[in-house]
Amino acid sequence: MAAQSLQFPRRSLLFMPGDSLKKIQKAATWEVDTVIMDLEDGVAQNRKEAARAVVGEALLTLGFGPRERLVRLNHISTGLPPVEIDATCMGRPDGYIVPKAEDESDLRAVDRLLDAAEKRLGLRDGAFRLFAMIETALGVMNLKEIARATPRLEGLIFGAEDLAGDMGAARTRDAWEVFYARSAVVTAAAAYKLQAFDMVFTDFNDAAGLETESRVARQLGYTGKTCIHPNQTPVVNAVFSPSVEEVDRAQRLVAAFEEQQAAGAGAFTFEGKMVDMPMLVAARKVLARAGTTESLSP
Q: Write out pLDDT tens, residues 261-281.
A: 777 766 778 877 777 777 777
Residue 255 lies in a domain: yes
Is 105 in the same domain as 250? no
Beta-carbon count within 10 A of 290 CB: 19
Residue 3 lies in a domain: no
Is 260 in the same domain as 276? yes
Residue 6 lies in a domain: no
- Residue ending a domain, choose from 239, 266, 286: 239
Q: Which of 19-23, 119-123, 196-200, 250-254 has the lowest mean pLDDT?
A: 250-254
Distance CA 197, CA 171 (A): 19
Is 137 in the same domain as 271? no
- Residue ending a domain, choose from 221, 239, 257: 239
Is 179 in the same domain as 256? no
Is 233 in the same domain as 262? no
- Residue ending a domain, choose from 220, 239, 258: 239
Burial of residue 263 (CB within 10 Å: 0-12, 13-18, 19+) is exposed
Is 164 in the same domain as 268? no
Higher pLDDT, 79 or 256: 79
Band the pLDDT of 298: cuts 50, 70, 90. very low
Does position 3 have pLDDT exceeding 60, yes or no?
A: no
| Residue 200 one-letter amino acid | V
Is 270 in the same domain as 196? no
Is 145 in the same domain as 249? no
Residue 1 lies in a domain: no
Question: Given 3-state DSSP classes, what are the helix, strand and coil percentages for the chain, each rounded to the nearest 5?
Answer: 50, 15, 35
Is 255 in the same domain as 225? no
Is 288 in the same domain as 172? no
Band the pLDDT of 5: cuts 50, 70, 90. very low
Residue 7 lies in a domain: no
Residue 158 lies in a domain: yes
Q: What is the mean pLDDT of the chain?
A: 91
Q: Which of 25-29, 143-147, 213-217 has the lowest mean pLDDT?
A: 25-29
Beta-carbon count within 10 A of 285 CB: 14
Distance CA 161, CA 44 (A): 18
Total count of domains within the chain: 2
Residue 110 lies in a domain: yes
- The catalytic residue among 94, 103, 111, 276 is 276
Does position 161 have pLDDT exceeding 80, yes or no?
A: yes
Is 159 in the same domain as 220? yes
Residue 251 structural domain: 244-296
Residues pairing with 157 in the sheet = 133, 197
Cα angle value 60/121/109 (rounded, 5°):
100
User: Which pLDDT score, from 0 to 100, does residue 280 have?
Assistant: 75
Is 181 in the same domain as 254? no
Is 276 annotated as catalytic? yes
| CATH (domain of 18) | 3.20.20.60
Residue 59 lies in a domain: yes
